[in-house]
Structure 1
């Protein structure tokens, strides 16, 4: 198992990985449908998006958690 001190890093990695995987597929599909180069273009978009999403999630997630704490009644 992974040490708890890496929770934020693991969360950010997995969230970015799953979201970019799904979103890059959806946007590539909506823009191109299923063309011969679909998989190549999708994977290329996924890789580029992941390298933007991972640091974004890592730095934005704490702010979003605080915002949710403010919005949700305890």
Structure 2
């Protein structure tokens, strides 16, 4: 198991992996449809999206947590 001190990195990695995988598939499908070679184009888009998504989520998550604490009532 991974030590708890790495929880943030594991969370951001898995979140960016999932989101970039699904979103790249949806956007690729919307843009070109279900064409021959779709899977290869999707994987190419996924890799590019993940490279952007991982550092972005590492920056955005702490900011979003702060905003959530401001707008969510305690108790």
Which 4+ residue blocks in structure 1 deviate beyond 3 angstroms? none
Is there any run of 5+ residues in structure 2 with no aligned partner, and where?
none
CA separation in 2, counterparts of 1:67 and 1:39? 37
The residue that corresponds to 1:13 in the other structure is 13
Name the Cα RMSD after superposition.
Answer: 0.6
TM-score (norm 1): 0.97
The residue that corresponds to 1:35 in the other structure is 35
Question: What's the offset of the Cα at 1:16?
Answer: 0.2
Is there any run of 5+ residues in structure 1 with no aligned partner, and where?
none
Question: What's the offset of the Cα at 1:37?
Answer: 1.6
